[in-house]
Structure 1
Amino acid sequence: MLDPIIAFFQRIFSAIGRGVGLVVAWLLWPFLAAHGWYKDRNWLIKGPIILVLAVLVASYGWFFWRTQIWYGFDTQMVEKYDFAKRTVAAGEKLPDQPNACQNSAIATVAADLTDLNVNQNAWVSSTLLYKLGFFGIDWDNTPFFDNKASFQRGVNQVVRRVAIELADNLGRVRGTSGINSDLQEARGRIQYDEEAWYFGIHPLGFRSTTPATYRSAIRYWRQFNADLQQCKSVFDTRADNLMQLLDRAASDLGNTSDILRRRSEDYNAGWFDTRADDRFWFAYGQLYALRAILAATHADFQDVIRERNLQSLWMQTEEQVEAALRVQPAIISNGAEDGWIMPTHLATMGFYILRVRSNMVELRTVLDR
């Protein structure tokens, strides 16, 4: 009685085996054909081919290393600054050093975050192999090698916003002083094209690379802080400046939340959504940078925060960002919100971003009273 059933399953597995064999043969055919052609050539042809293959293997090995190994990544990075020991706001005279002023924690963190992106790590988005893509396909449209690039761009998004606020508002006394030249230079350089290599087509010619330009922004931020420590520069810690910084940062989070929402609603491919990972890690990079910037802002504007009784709400906001940074799935999934097999990490990240944004809006509202 069992023989027909056994025979049925044997036919099924035999058919599956033949199908797998055909697929493997189809995949290996170009390599077998190339090998057949290659073995009949002389060394004048074999030598250059071996050299080209060796260069490709070494290049992609190095590319794999640069995109998969993350140096300096630490969700508790703010602890190393020990901002709690600061007793005065940025730009104020230090009580035990009458000829010295407190430097800006915001400028320090902006420089350090950029240093993380371009010195401690390779800036992935402008590397040649990343720009060439995967057989002409943008790496962002594949599940490979794009997470670190997206994270770096998310960090850079926050740093760019901070650079604008430093140059336009924080590093000058509004209405009575010009823009600080160091902050102005840093702002211009950190806005530079994120994908610039040594040579470009639009416009055609040689150009400065993205990492080199961002490194120069680091120097200008640190020069500003050095001048500020010698009381040669100013840092305006007015409540309206803090309110505007929060307002702009909250607006950026709102844009990211909308991107996550649209991707989550329009695509439910689960683990097979090739754009879910870069959306997730871009948002994660924003929150990673925002965690450090919030702690730095707390230190720089400590007088305003104390006077407006914002300590509790501010700490709550920082804690919510920390909670979001604990979400680090090995594989990003964009499943349906009511799905029971594939989770929806984009919706989860969007939820955390909205919580943080809500608190930032509340902080701004209190400052505006």
Structure 2
Amino acid sequence: MPDRITAFFQRLGQGVGRGIGLLVAWLIWPFMAARGWYSGRHWMVKGPVIAVLALLVGSYGYFIWQTQVWSGFNPNFVDSYRWSERTVPAGQELTAPAPASPQTTAAATAARQCQSSAIVDAAADLTDMNVNQNAWISSMLLYRLGLLGLDWDSTPFLDNKASFQRGVNQAVRRTSVELVDTLARMRGTSGVNNNLQDARSNLQFDEYSWYFGLSPFGPKTPSPSYYRAAIDSLRKFNAELTTCVAVFDGRADNLVQFLDRIANDIGSTSAILRERSENFNGGWFDTRADDRFWFAYGQLYGYYAILTAAGADFSQVIRERNLGPMWSETLVQLKAALRIQPAIISNGREDGWIMPSHLAVMGFYILRVRSNLVEVRSVLDR
């Protein structure tokens, strides 16, 4: 009996070995055939082939490097601004030092200075991180071509950074709309600021455009160029605001509307996470869980910076309504969500004990942030 068991396992091992050998042979056969074909060609054929292979290897090497290296990524980057030390809300005139002579009094009167907008600074710097400190992954040619024709978002590879960037961009887009429509207009009746209008238009541009497209057919301006133009427009607006030419209307009702829009935006993302978590339980093998997670993460990353900045721009409203503790708690919840950085995203069952459900965890934090925003809004509405 022991001999029969031993023989069975020997046959099993031999069968597995033959199977692995056949698989390896099948995988390397195209390369061996190509080598045989290549060795018999003239150098005029070999040269272009080598050039094409070198171009492919270099392009994919650059593409993989750009998707894996996240420059400027730092959830605590808002600390460097020291916005909490500002004493004047955005758009209000800064107090000039006491003049030493009548001549300096006249110069100070001529050169008025107002407080710039921290929200605009945050939006510009978030976009700068996306397209200047990093390559914009979603419009790169190899990202658009996908993996053997399969969209990278449908694979577990090389799409996390692209999803994160689109999440950050979603927060900046939403903010640019509110800046144009309410925050940078005096009681909503003054004219639209041209720089902010340009920024909003450029930020709404398609995230996937490369230098050439099929629909419509022909050359195009790539997405990063539009976003870089938006950065310039945002900085121009802040320069105008600093010289008291532009306006920033930091009223309570404007803050209420701004918070409403943000709550609705992240609420929509929460619904996307819930739908994926409930209907797909592939654990570590759910190939779409990672892009859902990192989009939500990027959105919260952007809103953490923007809401921190809003605390400085609306400091007078927050102080008058005694919202300091509630506002701080909202930022604490956002920062807690940004500490979740799993190496591999898993979309397991919520009651599972082997594979975690990172989408459910992220959705939980989003709902906590949204609940805090709704609470702040209710206090402002009283």
Shared fold by TM > 0.5?
Answer: yes
What's 1:234 paired with?
247
Structure-to-structure mapping, 1:97-116, within 5 angstroms: 99-116=112-129
CA distance in 1, matches of 2:45, 2:278: 54
Q: Write out per-residue CA displacement over residues 1-49 of structure 1, whole angstroms, 9 at most, x where no aligned residue.
A: 5333222222222222222222222212211221222222221211111
- Pairing 1:214–2:224 present: no
- Pairing 1:2–2:2 present: yes
What's 2:156 paired with?
143
Q: Which residue among 277, 288, 311 is the counterpart of 2:301?
A: 288
CA contact (8 A) 2:90 2:116 kept: yes
- Pairing 1:118–2:131 present: yes
Structure-to-structure mapping, 1:250-329, within 5 angstroms: 250-329=263-342
Higher mean C-alpha deviation, range 32-41 or range 267-276? 32-41
1:135 Cα deviation from its structure 2 partner: 1.1
What's 1:167 paired with?
180
CA distance in 1, matches of 2:266, 2:32: 52
Structure-to-structure mapping, 1:5-16, within 5 angstroms: 5-16=5-16
SS of 1:174's partner is: helix
TM-score by length of 1: 0.98
CA distance in 2, matches of 1:253, 1:176: 29
AA of the residue aligned to 1:2: P
AA of the residue aligned to 2:279: D
1:96 Cα deviation from its structure 2 partner: 3.2
Identity of aligned residues (%): 64
Q: Write out per-residue CA displacement over residues 250-296 of structure 1, whole angstroms, 9 at most, x where no aligned residue.
A: 10111101111111111111111111111110000001111101110
1:308 Cα deviation from its structure 2 partner: 1.1
SS of 1:252's partner is: helix
SS of 1:205's partner is: strand
Cα distance, 1:272–1:111 mapped onto 2, change above 3 Å: same
Q: Which residue among 156, 171, 181 is the counterpart of 1:158?
A: 171
CA contact (8 A) 2:304 2:335 kept: yes
What's 1:66 paired with?
66
CA distance in 1, matches of 2:189, 2:127: 30
- Superposition RMSD on alpha carbons, in Å? 1.1
CA distance in 1, matches of 2:180, 2:123: 13
SS of 1:253's partner is: helix
CA contact (8 A) 2:181 2:188 kept: no
Higher mean C-alpha deviation, range 26-35 or range 159-168? 26-35
CA distance in 1, matches of 2:257, 2:14: 68
AA of the residue aligned to 2:92: E
CA distance in 1, matches of 2:187, 2:279: 45
What's 2:50 paired with?
50
AA of the residue aligned to 2:36: G
- Pairing 1:23–2:23 present: yes
SS of 2:113's partner is: strand
What's 2:103 paired with?
none
CA contact (8 A) 2:346 2:355 kept: yes
CA contact (8 A) 2:160 2:291 kept: yes
1:175 Cα deviation from its structure 2 partner: 4.3
SS of 1:95's partner is: coil
CA distance in 1, matches of 2:250, 2:188: 14
CA distance in 1, matches of 2:189, 2:30: 71
CA distance in 1, matches of 2:12, 2:353: 30
Q: Write out per-residue CA displacement over residues 136-172 of structure 1, whole angstroms, 9 at most, x where no aligned residue.
A: 1111111111110000000000000000000110111
1:353 Cα deviation from its structure 2 partner: 0.6
What's 1:359 paired with?
372
CA distance in 1, matches of 2:21, 2:228: 52
Q: Write out per-residue CA displacement over residues 173-217 of structure 1, whole angstroms, 9 at most, x where no aligned residue.
A: 124410111111111111011111112222222221111110011
CA distance in 1, matches of 2:34, 2:219: 37
CA distance in 1, matches of 2:234, 2:337: 28
Q: Write out per-residue CA displacement over residues 74-112 of structure 1, whole angstroms, 9 at most, x where no aligned residue.
A: 010110100011001000111236621100000000000
CA distance in 2, matches of 1:148, 1:297: 26
CA contact (8 A) 2:304 2:334 kept: yes
SS of 2:355's partner is: coil
- Pairing 1:341–2:344 present: no
AA of the residue aligned to 1:262: E
SS of 2:328's partner is: helix
Q: Write out per-residue CA displacement over residues 104-140 of structure 1, whole angstroms, 9 at most, x where no aligned residue.
A: 0000000000000000000010111111111111111
CA distance in 2, matches of 1:82, 1:96: 21
SS of 2:62's partner is: helix
Higher mean C-alpha deviation, range 26-35 or range 185-194? 26-35
CA distance in 1, matches of 2:183, 2:70: 32
CA distance in 1, matches of 2:187, 2:17: 75
What's 1:131 paired with?
144
Higher mean C-alpha deviation, range 319-328 or range 5-14? 5-14
CA contact (8 A) 2:139 2:210 kept: yes
Matched residue pairs, number?
A: 369
